[in-house]
Chains A and B, each alone.
Chain A
């Protein structure tokens, strides 16, 4: 152990020898706005010293070479590093924070950044009616694909993939770093998005490699809002009220009369043998009105920020509530944040603390956490609209007991009533406490050398209470079947506590040599340790007189005379995870014309065997600021900025068994476990067969990019990259004699290649009228390499992983249409002939996958005399998913049991032999499961976000206590264009079957400051 660190100290000593070469000088300059006019009153800070610009925007300050000068004005902050020059004229734009490039463990100016980073700021996140800020990023960042699999309020079912899939079995989500502390958060429902100042997405190896063990899928750096020094108290209130509704679908479900008529034709179900008059007299129900609702959402935030000479603070209080579009689902959250910054009088010692506490409570459907009941018409109300016969009358349901008395055991015929009861009487509530405490301190030992520490605690406590209430139909039915009708119901309580600590120490050395050579070097260590505990119990048998969900009352005690009744089941777990790293970063700049950066990181993971425990990750990056060259200068130069940059490097993924740091905590060891054996006697069995060779997944990435600004009006970024993930930890197929068909092992590689672009153009930029249009897009090609076995692995019947092909590729029999002779489905054999009975051998590779190839967004922002409007479109293309809901609505064997689409009116008959819908008597519809008949293009273009509003001009507020007032209206998921017929083409799954659609949200907001 000790020997591994020897060389750190050696290096440190080398730095110590060069203390005390500080070069102090006077720096002057002018601060102007992007309109070219000087800005007075900008706070200019260098170390301990803060001055303000005068009426002409001029400042004078003493600073050291290599030191940062901070320019702060209202919401804008700009940092300039003092180099050889003594004059720094600064332009602050409306959205100046983009000029700061937030990188790994350090922040650089845009000019001296070598890496691929995209930053977006508060205004594109604030006030949007999304529980998680991640959803608001969609379509704003090239290369970042965000897909939401569930619209349930507070759902964690959102997939974030940067530059293509990075792993098959392991974690694919980027690392989130909040205020400098890596977080093991997997969802952000408990974080208040209104506290966020900026989100930066680190993409290339130059930026992510320093995150070593967790950086392989990219890094998302989140900064929360802070106060400023020398700032009077500012109070801000913002409030948003919204309405969430179901998006449209084009399934065209038959109404009651159509359905009965079809049933009569086929001679099945209730319609069999009915007369016209009977059909006409039957009810016709639109189950959409029963199983979906308009939800109301509210978001209120109050924040205070202020600063004195040596301290500043930001405090916010938030309340958020959103009702889901499915009755009984909602989330409420309260949150408090307190960010504090302080420094010593001489400016050498700086510290910050960030305290956040959030509490959220949400009611969810059980389906949200159980995909096995997606198709369950007794337990998934999301099937309610798609699977309820439209001639049934909702008035037939009154209560669970009434339903049981009248209809007895469950049957498909009472689907809607069972689900109405489910919504009413199944209780599934989660409560989550989230605490994020972190802080940092730094001390300038000399003018060149700074020592800093950062530490953070990430704490989550979650509790779930799930109950089949005693009055629920499901409880009554189960109790009757198992013989305890007097005490129906069950309750499950489960809770977990997740505690993570992350600590960094950093020694930073900045030095300018010979006026033009600047080096910035850091040595760091990182320590991470996490503890997880959980426990759960389920008890059956509730006494409805005393029972209340979660209260622990009304549990019927176990009685030895009825050994199979009222037996509680219990479980508990405890897990630990940890990482340790030491690493170095070195940056070199030559007169802001050239620059290079290097990093190397050694990481130890708790998960691997001794010989694989440590991994080494490195990166190198370089830039050429072409605009700084003499030949690019001149009065009317075309490029105001032009930079070429490139990077190459590696990063690792130690979360090989899944997103969680706790997944697969001992995969290297063969372990025995105590079991509930034969006849419920205790037994032992090999619970895990170890793989001592398990190791890191390593991603190597090369990136070349250009950043440019043309005539100060047109800005853009292009990037080209290749990512290569080696040693994918995935199921290595093995013979069943080993006890199972697969063992997880590091086999196979995966390649992602792509291009990204981000462009923005200020069409108008006057005092009265501003109009900016922007667009971004990316293309990513994914290919598997060196897959195990013979290079092909089958995932179920219709997907494969094959060499040199896209991951999760669909592998299906080609559907040929309807046989005009008999109305059965026809398929192509592998050889291309037609068959009614395809086999597995007839499947062919489609080249299609559920992961989009193209994605991006475009939009505009306009501002006219205080009125503003913005729109943001997002698109994804070349993405394919199975529409199993549609399959069910076009399945002739469902006639009489479930509703079908009016598409069935086109079904094959002798008189209608040429059609796309098989006969209602078709006998081979089961074969369609192997085919691509319901594999649909779910590409879409969507008006993801639109807003209009009014900023009350300052002159109207002069006589009031208010300093700014803004009112606006906005829409989320407003319009969608897609071939997909279901509720929502956006999803992270390969198929849709009874899922929770993402809603459309309209909202109104007000924002006042005083």
Chain B
């Protein structure tokens, strides 16, 4: 009897212990481990698709617009972006943190793709070996171009002085960092090291990119454009001129009429901003279809018009520049049709609510039922024309620079209807050249720099350029600081920010300093 009891007891206990490991040896359904992630070239393509989705300059655009002199506090502002508007820029600033994190996240994904690609060994005996190899290189070339783009964006916002090769740049991230417990802490490299890193990626891309010309992915023109921009930012204008010319050439052989030198006529120009034409003047277009973040939301709650909840509108000084000439297509495109313009804006009692200049550059795509979404245009050929002009001024060729600027201005002139008329050498009716810069504006290099800076403000507003442009061109142009309209900025004590202010370089974000002790003594001055 006693034995029976024991047996019973053991049976029950054994039953309770039986298969107990199913309680703790658990792998969740659908876990896809990294070791299995890269097996074929199509896996690389899948990873590349996600990398593209993480490339963005939206935060740079949003930050630049409100921190410099492009945007102002609008009627529906309930506190949005007041800190940035008031230049309250600290190491905890969410843009400083976000721009840094977002580009390094993209670079991390790129590095994982590069590392994963090493697992993919192609069969040399396969009949498709050559094609496969080219395809693999093409994917890596696109990824590395994007890494170069991200690194240059980081340099643009976080390096104190891009003209100084020995100044501190950013962290070079060229491999998949090890995980806990072996976390790495990498210091900032010098600008020169960063430039070399970018160039190495671009060299690889030159060799391995296909001849694709679709601007929604990486093209050779983009590689050249990045080189041109980087050279200009460095002040290496001889190089910059060459790359800018090459980029324009590369872009025009891709379809745009050579005579236009890659510029869109005023008749086509609005289509760029409504996303009806991704190929007109863009060197890179980043698609933002349904389900993706909408750039319009950086200034509006609901829609890009007066009733769509504008919490930021256009600074009145920028408005004044855009409306200087009635033929300037940019005033129709960049200033929202629903704007509330007060004739007596200088004296009207409730200025904030009675003079609302709707930012129209990103009108959303309401026809596609996406009122908050527009594609991003991180690089356009017009920038190459400006780089060309800058290089010409730097080389003392003021006349050449004037020609370059006037070519852009003619392209924006609604009276100009043919590509031939874009050439400032061609004599044209008054309607065509009434937007041309006269020789008088170009008397001295300083005047020329100022014209370029102003023209860049007009053309490239809300594209994330103004912050770096004021910093790198302001001194030569004799522009002392931001140029906000007084009635916009005075209520916030936010009218003055000299170009020498350290806040023209973003702080290394506090979040990075927290996790990276070696960078803590490399914080930018002023923070």
A529 touches B22 (CB 8 A): yes
A16 contacts B by Cβ under 8 Å:
yes
Contact with B along A390-414 (1 / 0, CB 8 A): 0000000000000000001111100
A484 at the interface (CB under 8 A from B): yes
Residue pair B491, A790 in contact (C-beta under 8 Å): no
Q: How far is the CB of A391 from chain B (nearest CB, A)?
A: 16
Q: Which of B398-406, B422-430, B456-464, B508-516 contacts A (4 or more CB under 8 A)?
A: B508-516
Q: Which residue of B lies closest to A482 (CB)?
A: B369
* Residues on A with beta carbons closer than 8 Å to the beta carbon of B185: 735
Known interface pairs A678-B50, A734-B515; A482-B12 also in contact (CB < 8 Å):
no
Q: In the complex the two chains form, is A745's CB within 8 Å of B13's CB?
A: no
CB distance B350 to A268 under 8 Å? yes
In this assembly, does B133 line the interface, its C-beta being within 8 Å of a C-beta of chain A?
A: no
| Interface check B126, CB cutoff 8 A | no
Q: Does A670 contact B (CB under 8 A)?
A: yes
Query: What CA separation (Å) do A789 and B512 show in the bound complex?
Result: 11
With A and B bound together, what is the CA distance between A929 and B83 in angstroms?
10
* B491 and A525 contacting across the interface, CB-CB below 8 Å: no
Q: Quick one: which of A650-708 are within 8 Å of B by CB?
A: 665-666, 669-686, 689-693
Residues of B within 8 A of A477 (CB): 302
A840 to B112, CA, bound (A): 36
Are A680 and B289 in contact (CB-based, < 8 A)?
Answer: yes
Cα–Cα, bound, A577→B26 (Å): 7
User: Is B28 within 8 A of A527, CB to CB?
Assistant: no
Determine whether the beta carbon of B78 is less than 8 Å from that of A733.
Answer: no
Asked whether B287 lies within 8 Å of A678 as measured between CB atoms, the reply is yes
Q: Measured between C-beta atoms, what is the minimum distance from A492 to chain B in Å?
A: 16
A contact residues around B75 at 8 Å (CB): 411
Mask, B289-333, CB within 8 Å of A = 1, is: 111100000000111010111000000000000000000000000
A742-B179 in contact (CB<8A): no
Task: Report the Cα distance A269→B53, complex, angstroms.
Answer: 43
Tell me whether A529 and B23 are in contact in the complex, defined as CB-CB below 8 angstroms, given that A736-B511, A741-B511 are known contacts. Answer: yes
Contact between A580 and B24 (Cβ–Cβ < 8 Å)?
yes
In the complex the two chains form, is B49's CB within 8 Å of A678's CB?
yes
Interface residues of A in 560-581 (CB under 8 A from B): 562-565, 567, 574-580
Contacts known (A505-B13, A676-B291, A745-B180); A669 close to B302, Cβ less than 8 A: no
In the complex, are the beta carbons of A671 and B514 less than 8 A apart? no
Q: Which of chain A's residues have a CB closer than 8 A to the CB of B108?
A: 686, 737-739
A604 adjacent to chain B (CB < 8 Å): yes
Contact between A412 and B350, CB atoms less than 8 A apart: no
User: Which residue of chain A is the closest to B491 with respect to CB atoms?
Assistant: A923
Q: Is A169 an interface residue (CB 8 A)?
A: no
**B28 x A684 contact (CB < 8 A):** no
Which chain A residue shows the least CB distance to B373? Answer: A564
Contact check, B349 vs A672: say whether CB atoms are below 8 A apart.
no
Q: Which of B98-106, B117-125, B231-239, B437-445 contacts A (4 or more CB under 8 A)?
A: B98-106
Task: Tell me the nearest residue of chain A to B105, going by C-beta.
Answer: A739
Within residues 120 to 178 of chain B, which ones have a CB less than 8 A from any CB in chain A?
171, 173, 177
How far does the alpha carbon of A927 sit from the alpha carbon of B287 in the complex, in Å? 37
Given that A408-B307, A580-B23 are contacting pairs, would A445 and B28 also be in contact in the complex, using a CB cutoff of 8 Å?
no
Please, which residues of chain A bring their CB within 8 A of the CB of B500? Answer: none
A481 interface residue, CB < 8 Å from B? Answer: yes
A927 contacts which of B43, B51, B88, B289 (Cβ < 8 Å)? B88
Q: A678-B53, A926-B83 are in contact. Are A483 and B9 (CB under 8 A)?
A: no
Question: Shortest CB–CB separation between residue A537 and chain B, in angstroms?
Answer: 15
- CB pair A926 B171 closer than 8 Å: no
Nearest-Cβ distance from residue B95 to partner chain A, whole angstroms: 14
Contact with A along B477-510 (1 / 0, CB 8 A): 0000000000000011100000000000000011
Chain A contact residue count (CB 8 A cutoff): 106
Q: Which residues of B contact A574 (CB under 8 A)?
A: 28-30
CA distance A734 to B352 in the complex (A): 43
Q: How far is the CA of A669 from the CA of B24 in the complex (A)?
A: 15
Q: Contacts A681-B49, A840-B91: A409 and B369 contacting too (C-beta < 8 A)?
A: no
Partner pick for A672 among B37, B49, B91, B301, CB 8 A cutoff: B37
Given A453-B12, A666-B31, A675-B50, decide whether A796 and B92 contact each other with a Cβ distance below 8 A.
yes
| Distance between B421 CB and nearest chain A CB, rounded to angstroms | 36
A670 touches B33 (CB 8 A): yes
Interface pair B50/A685, CB less than 8 Å apart: yes
CA distance A352 to B49 in the complex (A): 59
- Return chain A residues, CB-CB under 8 Å to B305: 409
Query: How far apart sit A669 and B9, CA to CA, in the bound complex (Å)?
Result: 40
Q: In the complex, which of the residues A408, A680, A693, A790 contacts B180, with contact meaning CB atoms closer than 8 Å?
A: A693
Given contacts A665-B28, A684-B50, A734-B516, contact A267 B78 (CB under 8 A): no
B207 CB within 8 Å of chain A? no
Residues of chain A within 8 A (CB-CB) of B86 are: 924, 926
A737 pairs with B173, CB closer than 8 A: yes
Interface residues of B in 330-365 (CB under 8 A from A): 349-350, 352-353
Whether A743 lies near B21 (C-beta < 8 A) is: no
List chain A residues, Cβ under 8 A from B100.
Answer: 736
Known pairs A411-B307, A735-B515; A741 contacts B101 (CB<8 A): yes
Q: A477 to B52: give the CA distance in the assembly, Å.
A: 32
* A675 nearest in chain B by CB position: B50
- A130, CB-defined interface residue at 8 Å: no
Nearest-neighbour CB distance to chain B for A551, whole angstroms, equals 26
Chain B neighbourhood of A481, CB < 8 A:
302-303, 308, 366, 371
* B82 within 8 Å of A (CB atoms): yes
Q: Which residues does chain A contribute within 8 Å of B184, judged by CB atoms?
A: 735, 737
CA of A738 to CA of B91, assembled, Å: 20
| Closest Cβ–Cβ distance, residue A85 to chain B (whole Å) | 31
Q: Give the CA-CA distance A253 to B49 in the complex, in Å.
A: 53
Contacting B at CB under 8 A, from A472-508, are 477-478, 481-484, 503, 505, 507
Contact across chains for B352 and A268 when beta carbons are under 8 A apart: yes
Judged by a CB distance under 8 angstroms, whether A613 is at the interface is yes
Contact between B183 and A578 (Cβ–Cβ < 8 Å)? no
Write the nearest CB–CB distance from A272 to chain B, whole angstroms. 5
Give, as a whole number of angstroms, the nearest-CB distance from A651 to chain B. Answer: 18
* B1-14 vs A, Cβ < 8 Å mask (1 yes, 0 no): 01001100100110
Q: Give the chain B neighbours of A278 by CB distance below 8 A.
A: none
Contact A484/B369 with A735-B185, A741-B101 known, Cβ cut-off 8 Å: yes
Question: Which of A525, A562, A670 sits near B13, CB closer than 8 Å?
Answer: A525
Instruction: Flag if A483 contacts B369 (CB, 8 Å).
Output: yes
- The residue that A743 contacts in the complex, of B82, B101, B180, with Cβ under 8 A, is B180
Question: With A and B bound together, what is the CA distance between A604 and B20 in angstroms?
Answer: 10
A797 in contact with B5 given A613-B24, A677-B46, A745-B180 (CB within 8 Å):
no
A527 touches B20 (CB 8 A): yes
Q: List 14 A–B pairs whose Cβ atoms lie within 8 Å, in order of A's numbering.
A: A5-B17, A19-B2, A411-B76, A445-B9, A482-B371, A578-B24, A675-B50, A681-B49, A685-B109, A686-B37, A734-B515, A741-B512, A840-B510, A924-B86
Closest 6 pairs (CB-CB, A-B) = A733-B515, A683-B50, A578-B23, A678-B52, A733-B514, A677-B49
| Given A686-B37, A743-B183, 6 extra CB contacts under 8 A | A576-B26, A681-B49, A735-B183, A745-B180, A789-B517, A790-B517
Residues of B participating in the A interface, judged by any CB pair closer than 8 Å: 2, 5-6, 9, 12-13, 16-17, 20-34, 36-37, 43, 46-53, 75-76, 78-79, 82-83, 86, 88, 90-92, 97, 100-101, 104-105, 107-109, 112, 171, 173, 177, 179-181, 183-186, 216, 287, 289-292, 301-303, 305, 307-309, 349-350, 352-353, 366-371, 491-493, 509-512, 514-517, 519
